[in-house]
Structure 1
Amino acid sequence: MPHRLLPQNDQILTVAQMRGGEEVLIAAGASVESLMRIAGLGAAEWVWRVSAGRSVTILCGPGNNGGDGYVIAEVIRERGGQVTVVAPVGPKTDAARDARTRYHGAVLGADAEVHGDVFVDCLYGSGLTRPLSAEDFALLVRLAQAHHHRIALDLPSGVQSDTGMLLNQGLPDYDATLALGAWKFAHFLMPAAATMGALRQVPIGIPAIDRAAVAVAKPRIAAPGADAHKYRRGLLAVVGGAMPGAAVLASLAAQGAGAGYVKLFADSKRNVPADLVVEQGALSDVLADDRNTAILVGPGLGRDAAARERLAVALADPVPAVVDADALILLAPRVLAERSAATVATPHEGELMALERAFDLDGTGSKPARALALAEASGMVVVAKGPDTVIAAPDGRLACAPRASSWLSTAGTGDVLAGCVASRLAAGTEAFAAACEGVWLHGEAARHASPAFTAGQLGQMVPAALAACL
């Protein structure tokens, strides 16, 4: 989903944090019923727009998610829309019972044969922790298949909110999901995120929650100052290795992401664009330039003894560093022991597992939990990349990236991501923020690229992504 569609409230809450936020509102004078009314009215606006006069079927469960569904149904009924409510059982919470009494239309049972245009899933919400019963699952699938368009309220039924796990196999896909009050982790984590379609948020006044995770949002990047020059904008040193093409890809992406000067340290200048400076010679000599503001090491590095030496020399430079690809396999705690500058690691799943072994972590838990554990153990900012990308800092900060183009699943795009992050780091951005900015630019560049792009074509779109931030 394009990043620009994410609303302004960017915090991502666990089920417990969401309940805590609601309790704050209730302590300030709100009631569960009033919050349900706000959520239902806000969701009804989206459903009304999507339906555009077409028939709507709402599946209401026994809890408060079902209560929200009754509120939506009454709004549509009052406006003259065609709405049908299906409820396998009656409401079981006080707020849901109140919403049911306020709905003045008919309620059909689970055996009703209903077909229509727009289906709204209000069966279960974010508190679900066990699989749907066989009866609920069959009803959900049957109604979803009987409608042309599908909307999930807060989360699709059958999804675990805090982990993004699918509690049942074969759950429906949705055209849109309306998050109530705040984002949940499942909106960003696979496999659940792939089922949700476009994400929209319905605000209900949830306050800022201490230490909440956030959704990666479009960064605000200023143009260079009137007195800027290439060194003031940041000098990034990219360390090449056995496979020079990967380092070139990373360097070209870095040039487009804002750094003023990108130098590739490699053994050869062959097949390198004319506007990319290549330094040759002993790595210890070329990295002695005290104008370096960041280092990128790993793309195309190799995994032999020479690669280990290049990694050690690169991380000896007392400036922030991005460690990617082969360097992540070679990285060990002792290599980081003497570093005081920030280090950003950008592992995919296999590299994440290798780092967990290196730092004696068991690798259990959700992807955010694993990223946070590695960040704390290693002292690095961790960009756990993939179809879902999570950024974690040693101090506990956590961010999740919105879904980006699935065309990114091609060789070399990780090198482009590393270049984007390193460029923002070289430009002077703090490490966690630089990681978030680089991830956003990477996804936005993919949005600008044509389908089936190569990594080189993706890198060419980075300047357009940067322009969107100015």
Structure 2
Amino acid sequence: MRTAYDVDTVRAAERELMTHLPPGTLMQRAAAALAAACANMLGRVYGTRIVLLVGSGDNGGDALYAGARLARRGAGVSAVLLSPDRAHPEGLAALERAGGRVADDPFEVLAAADLVLDGIIGIGGGGGLRPDAVPLARAARGSNALVVAVDLPSGVDADTGEVRGEALRADATVTFGAYKPGLLIDPAREYAGVVHIVPIGLDLPSVPAVEALQHADMADLLPTPAAESDKYRRGVVGVVAGSARYPGAAVLAVAGALRGGAGAVRYVGPGGDAVIARFPETLVSDGSPARAGRVQAWVVGPGLGDGPGVEEVLASDVPVLVDADGLHGLDPEVVRARSAATLLTPHAGEAAALLGVAREEVEAGRLAAARALASRYAATVLLKGSTTLVADAEGPVRVNPTGTPWLATAGSGDVLSGLTGSLLATGLPARDAGAMGAYLHGLAGRHAAQGAPVTAYGVAEALPTAWQDAARPNPQ
């Protein structure tokens, strides 16, 4: 499991560690790791031109000490001091002893740089760059230099992933001791580039703020039939989806459900003929959900329009996944009163409607929106998007690490709903089912797309390959 910790937790761990170390040791560890990472990215240090953008905090000190190490290896290192009177004095002295210098013309050295180290703002920042830093950030990005962020790109929020002003987009980020949530969650994640985490000896708590499944976790969690399993013991998922206007939603939701681990799929709705034509193994009913037969979980909403079924499904005593049209006008009190788990799977627009805010607010603060929805509905929430998050009332928020922008295609969410509902029917908790469904869906999207446009049905067809891939704890 990849874990991320909020700023307060990281700082507390740093303070505790520093009580057992000589003064300055922790910064030297960070600087040594930062310099080594930069050297690896450059490939050759001697003769390269490196520019340090130095703020007044510890990140500026890290950058100065790392610059000193690179200068001793033959790099030409220039420091641009944003607050000269507040620059880390020992770090600046170390840089000058090693042959580095303070730049006379920051824009001249930035234009010629091979690598720029962003040490402007540390993990405590979050309101965007100050006006005096913006031209320097733009000059760094406008050059041909590799931009490397120290711990976190300047101008992004470490705890939330929000970007509330201008920020410096990095090609790579070297972060110390632990991931910070903003390195895993958009929009900040896009500013981080490739993230390199380096250990510095922090003793962190067992429960993080944010976590992300990895292949090894998937291999442990994926349901596997036992020798005595039959289709009913493996779980039956019911799907209430589709309408005269959107019959394809029924087909796509069933396509995902059939590949999600449950032993059987019951379909209820007006799309029965289309579903049977594509998937004859589906158990189709044209009545109400209550008369369709026993299920271990329900999926309701994809392409449903204003058709019936949502209230009846929510009145059941089994886990329910609510998506798309099922989310329209969803009553928090009805959901909160349920005895079984409820998993809501909105995209940003649907989440905004449920919260009564603008879509832009959800997209800018995805972590806060997911947590707010989970609290309001006392449910597990899978917030879809460029960073898919799974949140419930307690425990770390899960961030999905798989996917591709090609998944932004019509019907993709219907496949995800069916797949995740099927995982629910196997007996997985809603949090695990949501995170695993997003992981498999994202992996299938990669397999199906291969860098080209993909259809939702193509994603569904790639799910078995994704499952096989995720079932290997150590993929090659």
TM-score band (shorter)?
A: 0.7 to 0.9
Q: Find the partner of 2:59 among 65, 68, 79.
A: 65
Structure 2: stretches of 5+ with no match in the other structure: 472-476
Deviation readout 1:360-389 (Å, 9 max, x if unpaired):
xx9899332232222122111011221222
Return the letter of the residue paired with 1:186. G
> Structure 2 matches for 1:23-422, cutoff 5 A?
23-27=15-19, 29-30=20-21, 33-53=24-44, 55=48, 56-81=50-75, 83-90=77-84, 92=86, 96-103=88-95, 104-109=98-103, 111-112=105-106, 113-114=108-109, 115-169=112-166, 171-209=167-205, 211-218=207-214, 219-220=218-219, 221=222, 223-242=224-243, 243-272=246-275, 273-289=278-294, 292-303=295-306, 306-307=307-308, 310-336=309-335, 338-357=337-356, 366-402=365-401, 404-422=403-421
Runs of 4+ deviating beyond 6 Å: 362-365
Task: Confirm or deny: 8 A CA contact 1:248 1:264 kept in the other structure.
Answer: no
Contact 1:376 1:394 in 2 (8 A): yes
Do the aligned residues in 2 keep the contact of 1:294 with 1:426 (CA within 8 Å)? yes
Letter aligned with residue 49 of structure 1 = N
SS in 2 for 1:120: strand
Q: C-alpha displacement at 1:328, in angstroms?
A: 0.7
State the TM-score, normalizing by the size of structure 2: 0.86
Distance change >3 Å, CA 53–CA 265, structure 1 → 2 = same
Once residues 52 and 287 of structure 1 are traced to their aligned partners in structure 2, the CA distance between those partners, rounded to angstroms, is 64
Q: Which residue of 1 aligns with 2:474?
A: none
Q: CA deviation at 1:459?
A: 1.6
Shift in CA distance, 225/58, structure 1 to aligned 2, threshold 3 Å: farther
Residues 1:32 and 1:430: Cα distance change in structure 2 (over 3 Å): farther
Aligned length: 449
Contact 1:384 1:391 in 2 (8 A): yes
Q: Report sequence identity in percent.
A: 33
Bigger shift: residues 376-385 or 111-120: 111-120
In 1, Cα distance between equivalents of 2:417 and 2:137: 42
**Secondary structure at 1:382's aligned position in 2?**
strand
User: Normalising by the residue count of structure 1, what TM-score does the alignment of the two structures yield?
Assistant: 0.87
CA contact (8 A) 1:387 1:403 kept: no
Change (3 A) 1:373 1:419: same
Structure 1 residues 440 and 284, CA gap change in structure 2 (3 angstroms):
closer
1:5 alignment counterpart = none
**Inter-partner Cα distance in structure 2 for 1:203 and 1:59:** 23
Q: Which string of whole-angstrom CA distances, capped at 9 and with x for unpartnered residues, describes residues 128-158 of structure 1?
A: 2444333322122213322342222222212
Q: Tell me: CA distance 1:166–1:336, structure 2 relative to 1, closer, same or farther (3 Å).
A: closer
Q: For 1:119, what is the secondary structure of its paired residue?
A: strand
Residue 116 of structure 1, CA deviation = 2.8
Q: Which segments of 5 or more consecutive residues in structure 1 lack a partner in the other structure? A: 1-7
Q: Which amino acid aligns with 2:18?
A: I
SS of residue in 2 equivalent to 1:116: coil
RMSD over aligned Cα atoms? 2.7
1:12 pairs, out of 4, 7, 10, with 4
Check conservation: 1:236, 1:426, Cα contact below 8 A.
Answer: yes
Q: Does the 8 Å CA contact 2:343/2:434 hold for their aligned counterparts?
A: yes
Deviation track 1:41-77 (CA, whole Å, cap 9, x = no partner) reads 2222321111001623332222111111123223333
Structure 2 distance, partners of 1:433, 1:278, is: 26
